[in-house]
Amino acid sequence: MTNRYCEELGIGVPKLESVKDHREANTYALLIVALLENGDTMTLAEVARRFERAGIAPARRALLSLQRCKPARPPVYRDGDHYALDPYDDELDLWVFRLGLRPPQAPERPVVRPEPEPTRGPEEPLTVTELEEAWSGATLSDWPRQRLVVAVLDAHGRALPAAEVVAVVSRWAEGHPLSADVPHFRRRNSAVEVREDGRWAIAPGTYSQAALRAARNAVRERIDRARRSAARRVDPAAIEASQRAWERKAAAHAAELATMRRVILHAFPAAEPEALVLLDVGQRTLSTFLGDEISAARERLDDYDILAAVDVRALLRALDYEPGRRRLAELGPPQKTMTLNRRGRTLKMTNELLLQGSCGISRAFGDPEKLRAYLRSGRHTQLRRRLEADAKSLFALYQYGRLHGVVRLRWGFLDEAIPVPWVHRDETTLHGLKSQALEMGVPVEVVAGTAPGWSEPWSRSRRCFVRKEPGGYYLWLIDEAGYAIDDVEVQLARVLVTVH
């Protein structure tokens, strides 16, 4: 049997024994490795027995650890009592890298740097060039005043006015304790003498010679450390080349994802579907199938690359449809609960709450009892209308998540952004659209507020301009009236490449 997980990731099949001592190998990481190794779904009990055979922990203790590690989080998903991996989840690729199962995608480029010139010995005077190299951008607050002055005087080879010495140090260093306050050097055994004309000079004597050697050594030690650090630093040209390569790869992947045909499935009842709605995301068309017509819907699913639904895997199993290597998008709540306070009070997260917070849809889904009544009484027109409205609500949530990478939970004092699993990190979100518009110098057309209408989604559109504060990161959307639009209120957005 082929291991489709490893085939999709382009890696060899790992062995749990070879990864168990890795620095990233916690319980959840080892669960991922066990699923990669198995290449198929497993129960937690089966994973625990595999842990025992690998010498990680006894099966009973391993099972308790697996149950506590929140195993059903991306890239692992739960399907009944079984757990499996989503090979297309970008989190899986990151885990594979963290665990050392694949090399870096941008391998380190060998950069040949010339060997730095050796620093001179303490018998040779300092130079102004050495001071600049040692002190540029440095904070010298821990350097004694005397050492700073001796170093400057040695580099210039003559006595200097106090203000000029201070100016030399201030030219390069960001912080230092030196000032032109003469009494600092009027004590006995000072290496700096203050002459009658106010200039500072290196005092004669053995004490001054020792201070001079210490100053030369301190300056040249800073130079040595700076040169060693520079030799270890990655060449900026290599960083830029790797960044551009990553951007090209991400853009190519985003373009590939944009061409994939997507469909949202909504069935009733979900466990044993008697009615099914297919919503084509790209074409914005709806197709409803009742009773025996559902068999024709299975053939329609073959035309799509991405299948999205609430509890999508269970629904496809109920439809007796094998997705193969198609991508599956789970539209159920990304997490089950939200902790509200330290006492442990929790809020159950539902799609109704997420739709209200993200899209402003208060009545997202029909009453199941009414839907059953429509089925029993044969009122198929009402049933179709209600199920199609439900599918449109799911579509609004799906589109909001694609635009922002998150959905919004608003309840009482809460206003939280919840990351969604159906958006790949390479896909263009609102921030990417704003960046494109700013770079091209063109406006962005947005629909803000509640979810747009189905038949004319751009009827409430507003033209906005992207603004960025100097030195800032955040990109603001400013409409033609001069008002800022909050990003979280944006439901649709597109870059206006051509302006008339």
What integer pLDDT is reported at residue 106 of this predicted model?
Answer: 63
- Distance separating alpha carbons of residues 143 and 160, to the nearest angstrom: 20
Residue 497 CA to residue 437 CA, distance in Å, equals 8
Digit-coded pLDDT (tens) for 219-243: 999 988 888 877 777 777 777 888 8
In this structure, which amino acid lies at residue 273? Answer: P
Task: Enumerate the domain spans of the chain.
Answer: 1-103, 128-232, 260-422, 430-495
- The whole-angstrom distance between residue 350's C-alpha and the CA centroid of its chain comes to 25
Pick from 75-79, 175-179, 409-413, 424-428: least confident: 175-179
CA angle 30, 33, 36 (to 5 degrees): 155
Helical spans, DSSP H, in 54-182: 59-68, 90-98, 128-135, 145-156, 162-172
Q: Are strands 160-161 and 82-85 parallel, antiparallel or unpaired?
A: unpaired
pLDDT > 90: what percent of the chain? Answer: 54
Distance CA 94, CA 85 (A): 13
H helix intervals, 405-493:
430-440
Give the residues across from 289 on adjacent strands.
Answer: 276
Most confident of 169-173, 384-388, 409-413: 384-388
pLDDT digits over 435-473, tens only?
999 999 999 999 999 999 999 999 999 999 999 988 778
Per the model's pLDDT, the better-predicted residue between 414 and 459 turns out to be: 459
pLDDT tens-digit profile of 87-118? Answer: 888 889 899 999 999 887 766 655 555 555 66
* Confidence (pLDDT) at 500: 47
More confident residue, 245 or 186: 245
Q: Which two tokens stand for residue 61?
A: 């203790």
Q: How much is the average pLDDT of 136-144?
A: 86
Read off the pLDDT band of 58 (50, 70, 90). Answer: very high
Looking at per-residue pLDDT, the higher value among 401 and 5 belongs to 401
Residue 272: how many other CB atoms lie within 10 Å: 9
What is the pTM for the complete model shown?
0.76
- The SS3 call for residue 113 is coil
Name the token pair of 403. 């635009």
418-437 per-position pLDDT tens digit = 999 899 989 999 999 999 99
CA nearest to 336, candidates 322, 346, 325, 326: 346
The predicted structure's pLDDT at residue 319 = 93
Quick one: average pLDDT of 145-150? Answer: 89
- Strand 160-161 relative to strand 199-202: parallel, antiparallel, unpaired? antiparallel
Report the pLDDT value the prediction gives residue 105, as an integer from 0 to 100: 72
**Contacts of residue 403, Cβ cutoff 8 Å, sequence gap at least 6:** 429, 430, 490, 491, 492, 493
The answer to which of 75-84, 292-301, 340-349, 475-484 has the lowest mean pLDDT is 340-349
On the question of pLDDT at 215 being above 70, the answer is: yes
